């Protein structure tokens, strides 16, 4: 296919879609802009809070050896052993 440049109208203004036009239309009152800025600021504050909380340790993990080295006899005596009778023979196969 071949186009004759002399036959084309090159000074035509682009027609953008209605949705894009609505997005690009100036917000005269600034209401949409301010609402967007407030939502973004709230999101940033929530994100910063969640990241700070996520960085805090919620559990303290120690190995049995470490615990045995610092545990007193009284603390070691607080261990409760639970046993449950089996329901029947163990499956095998």
> CA 33 from chain center: how many Å?
25
Q: Which domain holds residue 45?
A: 31-76
The domain tally of the chain equals: 1
Task: Report the pLDDT value the prediction gives residue 51, as an integer from 0 to 100.
Answer: 96
Which residue pairs, CB below 8 angstroms and at least 24 apart, start in 20-24?
none
Give yes or no for residue 93 having a pLDDT over 70.
Answer: no
Give the residue from 71, 53, 51 showing the smallest Cα distance to 62. Answer: 71
Give yes or no for residue 18 having a pLDDT over 70.
Answer: no
Buried b (16+ CB within 10 A) or exposed e, 15-47: eeeeeeeeeeeeeeeeeeeeeeeeeeeeeeeee
pTM, 2 dp = 0.41
**17 falls within a domain:** no
**36 falls within a domain:** yes
């Amino acid at each position: 296919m071949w186009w004759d440049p002399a036959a084309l109208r090159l000074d035509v203004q682009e027609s953008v879609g209605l949705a894009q036009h609505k997005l690009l239309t100036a917000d005269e009152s600034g209401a949409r802009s301010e609402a967007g800025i407030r939502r973004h600021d709230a999101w940033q504050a929530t994100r910063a809070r969640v990241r700070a909380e996520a960085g805090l340790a919620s559990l303290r993990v120690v190995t049995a050896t470490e615990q045995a080295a610092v545990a007193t006899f009284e603390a070691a005596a607080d261990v409760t052993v639970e046993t449950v009778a089996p329901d029947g023979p163990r499956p095998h196969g």
